[in-house]
Structures are given as C-alpha cells and as structure tokens.
Amino acid sequence: MTVFYILDLLGTSAFAISGALFAINKKMDPVGIFIIAFATAIGGGTLRDVIIGRFPVVWMNDLFYVYTISFSVLLAIIFKNKIRYLSKSLFLFDTIGLGIFTIIGTEIGIQNNFHPIICVFLGTISASFGGVIRDILANEIPLIFHKEIYATACVVGSITFLLLNEIPIHQDVNYILTTLMVISVRLIAVKLKLQLPIIH
C-alpha cells in the first residue's frame, strides 16, 4: 500500500464525510446522504478519469473506495451530533479533501506525461468538481462559481506540487507541503473574507 494510495483513500474519506454532513444539514434521508457523500467523494476523480480516457474509472476497479465511503458516511451519521460541535466541521473536512485531491489529480497528470498546465487542470478538477456535483444535486449554485476562494486554492496547490517536484526533496514532503499550501490558502481566504471580483 503506497503513500499515494493512502492519500487517495484519506481524501475520499474526507470528502465523503463532508458530503454526508452537507446532506445531513439539508435534512436528507439516509439514501440521499449516501448519494451526496458518494458524489462528493468520487465525482471529481470520475470526471478526471473520463477526460483522460482512464477506463474503468479508478473506484470501479477497487471496491475499497466504496467501503471507505460507506464507512465514512456511517461515522458521519452516528457521530453527527458530536461533529457538529466542532468549529466549521464541514469546512474542515472539505478543505482536507481539497488539499489531498489536488495532489492526486496533479500526480496523475505527471504520470501520464501531460503538459504542466494540463496537470494543474486535472488537479483542480479532481479536487473541486465533486463539490460542484454535490451542490448541483442539492439545487445550489456551486461554491466554486461564487463567494469563496476554492478552485484558486487548488490551482495554487497544483503549481506548488509541480515546482516542488522539480527539486530534490522526498515525495512525501512534497505531498505534505502541497496539502498544507491548499489548506492555508483556503483558511486565509475565509479568515480575511477574500474572494475573486464579481462581474455585474
């Protein structure tokens, strides 16, 4: 079991919990909670795999992803009252997933010898489009299109990963620094209420 695989499962779990909490806040039934959590967890990765022609998509070849999502949803439902007491728990899990999946998408782009710009594109899709699908299913304007610095954090993280990949440091250090970069950009943006300009 590689560090890359462990990161992928951690990101999947974080996004599944984020999606489950989102659905619980929307007062959905258990089926709705599972569907939203599943879409949030694997939506971005599925879209990425379809775009680059990677078939079957990764979670169809490895049921451990499905087990991870199911277990994460179960935990979110059982401990929903305790988790709600954590400050901005939905934001926390969403941001962790964002950081990890930015790395996953960018790394897959590198493995497929794509141009760095395409690698950034894949990193951003992997990290943010599960949330887009989640919001669309819940009949909301996706977060990526308004309000907060979201996809921009993925772009910054992906570029950071590519730059660090060019210098002689251990890959695990690159993973950690890139994840922290995405999380930091998101935290700073929310704390200072930064957002891209809205065109009227």
Compute the average pLDDT of residues 93-115.
95
Is the pLDDT reported for residue 175 higher than 90? yes
Residue 144's pLDDT band (cuts 50, 70, 90): confident
Give pLDDT tens digits for 55-91. 999 999 999 999 999 999 999 999 887 766 554 677 8
pLDDT in the model for residue 85: 58
Residue 194's pLDDT band (cuts 50, 70, 90): confident
Is residue 167 exposed (0-12), middle (13-18) or buried (19+ Cβ within 10 Å)?
exposed
pLDDT in the model for residue 88: 65
Structure-token match 């943010």, residue found:
128
